[in-house]
Structure 1
Amino acid sequence: MKLRVKGLGLLLLLVLLALCSTIDVCDARRGKHWRPRSSPSSSLLRNKGKGKKGSSNRQHGSNRPSPKPPLSPPPSPGNGKGYQSPYQPSPSPSPNAPVSPSPVNGSGHASPKSPTPSCGKGNQPPSRPTPTSPQGAVFNVVDFGAKGDGVSDDTKAFEAAWAAACKQGASTVVVPSELEFLVGPISFSGPYCKPNILFQLDGTIVAPTSAKAWGSGLLQWIEFTKLNGVSIQGNGIINGRGQQWWTYSDIDDDEDDDTQYDVEFERMPQVKPTALRFYGSFNVVVAGITIVNSSQCHLKFDSCQGVMVHDVTISSPENSLNTDGIHLQNSKDGGLGLVQDVRFSNIQVSEVQTPIIIDQFYCDKRTCSNQTSAVAVSGVQYENIRGTFTIKPVHFACSDSSPCSGITLTGVQLRPVQIPHYRLNDPFCWQAFGELYTPTVPPIACLHLGKPAGNNLQSYHDLC
């Protein structure tokens, strides 16, 4: 009986030792975290679960629910022409940026998504609502009857496509590539349009050349007015075909063909239209497009707030009259106000007469009277302006009563090109104050360093 009890006790002791052997008692004594040993099968299942979770995040077409992805960084400009350099957008994306639609006919939508523009004092343009749809509705002008043959008048089709996008909001009007659309004077207007409309221009828009299409004269050809969150982008072309306005009569030329052409020119109205104009609009983006041969100014912004322009090409021949590239204006009552905190950056010029100009004595009439009052100019930055000139690299002509201040130049390299009948001149400065952050080519020694004495610039609050 005693032997049986001893045998039973010995058996219980062996069982206890066997149970204790599955616990890392030694690891616990050495200060490590105690944990029960997991079986190989449970580890394998856990690893498989991690792999499945990771792959589901990459399968955008999967119906399985996945955790909310983190915010993506802002889109890059694609071709390296950094619009981020002038404005330094925030690393996090803005919900106000226009949303590019999916490609139509395999063209055009490789252009970068436009960042939220910021401009003006305080960099606080009105915010744009978040689009209701990630892609938005797409309205192709061809679907509204546009022919795209360069001869048929497609104005009504463009108006109809815009009207549909205007009602929808957060939508896109598409002008497809490889087609040429003849469009007469047109206004894409609000203020009752819903916000965030993208005008995706990948084809070519040409202006009419008959005097009948312009009537007694218009100030603009293509106009976007009183809109909030409007963008025009793409690889397309706006061709103003302004040759009719540039031609002038030569009294020494008696050839019949030229005489006939001059008669046609005389029929054109004296008021010449700007090719592309934005008026009274907020959060405007113009990106990637090309504007050529405007009859007058190529691109104009009037009474707009929050403007971003990048990767735009503007071109017209040397003999074109008054075909300025970009006009920024918000004038009220012909001479009081200020221009403040403006930046020109990453601009390439080629055989331009005078690439950099501030001229407070400018007059486009034959006879001009000398004026003493002028718009105050301050905080104008020129960065990475490169190329060639034919007359003068820099012309800063500022008012005696209101000198220019805070003019800065960085990375300016402008080299002369000798053109017959043109005489090269040195940089010119008058009452211009600022600083050269880097050496310029050619040297701009005429710029006064520092600030003008007693120069009290007006602010917006001073203009009542």
Structure 2
Amino acid sequence: MEVINRIRGVLVIYLTIMTTLVIVQESSNVNVVEARYHYHKKQKNKASPSAPSPSPDYPPPPSVVPSDPASPSPPTPTTSPPVLSDPYPNDPSNPSSGCTFDVMSFGAVGDGSTDDTAAFREAWKAACAVESAVVLAPADYCFKITSTIFSGPCRPGLIFQVDGVLMTPDGPEEWPKTDSRKQWLVFYRLDNMSFTGVGTIEGNGDKWWDLPCKPHRGPDGSTVSGPCDSPALIRFFMSSNLVVSGLTIKNSPQFHMKFDGCEGVLIDKVSISSPKLSPNTDGIHIEATKTVGIYNSLIANGDDCISIGPGCSDVDIEGVTCGPSHGISIGSLGVHNSQACVSNITVRNVIIKESDNGLRIKTWQGGTGSVTGILFENIQMENVRNCIIVDQYYCLSKGCLNQTSAVYVNDVEYRTIKGTYDVRNTPIHFACSDTVACTNIIMSDVELLPYEGELVEDPFCWNAYGTQETLIIPPINCLQEGEPQTVMESNKFACS
């Protein structure tokens, strides 16, 4: 009897262990199926990052199906896996997040000649519906896409990650007739979105630069043909809380990056380049955009390194190297008698080299509004023409007439500006409106010496008022102290 009881005890323990193993195995099988649902099989010889199922409007990409017919079938789950057409496979109140949508899984070829536009649009649409999703253009591929608007609103945290090469059609002849010639990639109505990666955005701009539409300077100072209706490479429009980082952006037909009507922009560690004589290829242009930080970037191009248009405020620029370029510009402002308001701009710890201009404020005659609260600090110049310039007579033709109104320039500080200048122009040039004087210009620790040749001893000032806190090199005796008698007249043009 005692023996029988011992046998019964052993059987109970054995059955308990076997039951536990079955439960663990079934649980493991469920996890395997769910993992295969969330992650696509790797491509041959290419490590393709993970990607979830696309949105219900699109069929599952081919990589969902195992490419090897000899692969064993997955164990049958004890519970049904999420339905593939459901973009939120878990609790609808807590959708899945952090998914990667590899454009290769949506049909992209990435050979540099195939049009991959449709694959990018489908990947974007699928990712837009998932919180913290990633649209991935993987490394080792070159993707050609045509003019496209990536629009929102999308779920927050969307990342467009380019690790390969993303490029435009090759010049105006290859540009689709039905596509906009004013812009290529547009990001519209987005919040909390990042455009990042270690890849390259290639603009193929050389064939646009020689269109016989607009004159630009040739290598010997002559005037040669240039672009007119040419696309900006990347445009962010009516969006907020944006990050652009890590990318190399090259050879734009026109502006490399534009921000219109945005708020909350961070640009960090980007490289922008195009030839010195490529016309209208501004590196970064912002307009009607607030709260902007531009940091730790290299910009070399054929126009303004960074240009700040009307409606901008709270802009911080630091750790940027510009050149060759046309320098950092506020403006042009007030074109066609318009109002332009720019305020609270800080440019600090910047290098400007081999450039036509250094720190420039340019406005048209006849405009209204104001430029105020500007700080340029700790700037290094290397062989720069027009190192410090305020030009309130900006004009692209010889037919511009002086007018009685102007954009009011006030509270501009130049602190610790040092380096060398090209003696073909005066290094300091304040050309302010006849009727609306520039006021409260502060200069401190400014030392500019000729790159070659003799020291220029006649900086230019016209109707400019301010204070020299230290001895300035070259001496700038033309800056008037105090305030003009017409200061009240100037104030009426300021922004409220």
Q: Structure 1 residues 225 and 345 mapped into 2: Cα distance closer, same or farther (>3 Å)?
A: farther
Report the alpha carbon displacement of residue 397 of structure 1 after superposing the two structures with TM: 1.6
Counterpart of 1:271, as a letter, is D
Query: Can you list the C-alpha shifts for 1:104-156, whole angstroms capped at 9, x where unaligned?
Result: 9599xxxxxxxxxxxxxxxxxxxxxxxx7997111122222222221111111
Report the alpha carbon displacement of residue 381 of structure 1 after superposing the two structures with TM: 2.2
Counterpart contact for 2:151–2:188, Cα < 8 Å: yes
Q: Structure 1 residues 404 and 242 mapped into 2: Cα distance closer, same or farther (>3 Å)?
A: same
Out of 113, 133, 136, the position equivalent to 1:174 is 136
Q: Structure 1 residues 135 and 294 mapped into 2: Cα distance closer, same or farther (>3 Å)?
A: same
Find out whether 1:406 has 2:411 as its counterpart: yes
Find out whether 1:225 has 2:226 as its counterpart: no
Report the alpha carbon displacement of residue 320 of structure 1 after superposing the two structures with TM: 0.7
In structure 2, what is the equivalent of residue 297 of structure 1?
Answer: 255
Taking the aligned partners of 1:290 and 1:440, their CA distance within structure 2 comes to 34
Taking the aligned partners of 2:99 and 2:186, their CA distance within structure 1 comes to 22
Q: Structure 1 residues 172 and 426 mapped into 2: Cα distance closer, same or farther (>3 Å)?
A: same
Report the alpha carbon displacement of residue 390 of structure 1 after superposing the two structures with TM: 4.4
Taking the aligned partners of 2:342 and 2:99, their CA distance within structure 1 comes to 39
Taking the aligned partners of 1:206 and 1:450, their CA distance within structure 2 comes to 54
Give the root-mean-square deviation of aligned CA atoms.
3.4
Report the alpha carbon displacement of residue 414 of structure 1 after superposing the two structures with TM: 4.1
Find out whether 1:456 has 2:491 as its counterpart: yes
Counterpart of 1:385, as a letter, is I
Taking the aligned partners of 2:483 and 2:145, their CA distance within structure 1 comes to 50
Counterpart contact for 1:170–1:197, Cα < 8 Å: yes
Q: Structure 1 residues 138 and 386 mapped into 2: Cα distance closer, same or farther (>3 Å)?
A: farther
Counterpart of 2:195, as a letter, is I
Find out whether 1:184 has 2:178 as its counterpart: no
Taking the aligned partners of 1:450 and 1:175, their CA distance within structure 2 comes to 58
| Structure with the higher fraction of residues in strand conformation | 2
Counterpart of 1:320, as a letter, is S
Taking the aligned partners of 1:447 and 1:227, their CA distance within structure 2 comes to 46
SS in 1 for 2:155: coil
* TM-score of the two chains, using structure 1 as the length reference: 0.58
Out of 280, 285, 288, the position equivalent to 2:246 is 288
Taking the aligned partners of 1:180 and 1:150, their CA distance within structure 2 comes to 5
Counterpart of 2:164, as a letter, is G
Counterpart contact for 1:434–1:449, Cα < 8 Å: no
Out of 382, 387, 405, the position equivalent to 1:388 is 382
Gaps (5+ residues) in structure 1?
1-103, 108-131, 250-261, 362-370
Counterpart contact for 1:354–1:389, Cα < 8 Å: no
Report the alpha carbon displacement of residue 329 of structure 1 after superposing the two structures with TM: 0.9
Find out whether 1:155 has 2:117 as its counterpart: yes
Counterpart contact for 1:338–1:375, Cα < 8 Å: yes
Query: Can you list the C-alpha shifts for 1:404-437, whole angstroms capped at 9, x where unaligned?
Result: 112223443342368xxxx343221123443235
| Structure with the higher fraction of residues in helix conformation | 1
Larger Cα Rg: Structure 1 or Structure 2? 1
Taking the aligned partners of 1:162 and 1:360, their CA distance within structure 2 comes to 40
1:238-257 alignment runs, 5 A limit: 238-247=201-210
Report the alpha carbon displacement of residue 315 of structure 1 after superposing the two structures with TM: 1.3
Report the alpha carbon displacement of residue 272 of structure 1 after superposing the two structures with TM: 0.7
SS in 2 for 1:168: coil
Q: Structure 1 residues 275 and 409 mapped into 2: Cα distance closer, same or farther (>3 Å)?
A: same
Counterpart contact for 2:380–2:418, Cα < 8 Å: yes
Q: Structure 1 residues 349 and 233 mapped into 2: Cα distance closer, same or farther (>3 Å)?
A: farther
The percent of aligned pairs where both chains have the same amino acid is: 31
Taking the aligned partners of 2:136 and 2:483, their CA distance within structure 1 comes to 49
Query: Can you list the C-alpha shifts for 1:148-174, whole angstroms capped at 9, x where unaligned?
Result: 221111111111111111111322212
Gaps (5+ residues) in structure 2?
1-45, 50-93, 213-223, 289-309, 312-333, 394-404, 433-437, 450-472
Counterpart contact for 1:434–1:450, Cα < 8 Å: no
Q: Structure 1 residues 427 and 439 mapped into 2: Cα distance closer, same or farther (>3 Å)?
A: closer
Out of 88, 91, 102, the position equivalent to 1:140 is 102
Report the alpha carbon displacement of residue 185 of structure 1 after superposing the two structures with TM: 0.8
In structure 2, what is the equivalent of residue 323 of structure 1?
Answer: 281
Runs (4+) off by over 4 Å? 104-107, 132-135, 331-334, 446-452, 457-460
Query: Can you list the C-alpha shifts for 1:312-355, whole angstroms capped at 9, x where unaligned?
Result: 22211122111111111126996114111122334333312113
Taking the aligned partners of 2:132 and 2:286, their CA distance within structure 1 comes to 26
Counterpart of 1:173, as a letter, is V
SS in 2 for 1:142: helix
Taking the aligned partners of 2:347 and 2:375, their CA distance within structure 1 comes to 6
Counterpart contact for 2:407–2:493, Cα < 8 Å: no
Find out whether 1:439 has 2:446 as its counterpart: yes
* TM-score of the two chains, using structure 2 as the length reference: 0.55
Taking the aligned partners of 2:369 and 2:442, their CA distance within structure 1 comes to 21
Out of 165, 171, 194, the position equivalent to 2:155 is 194
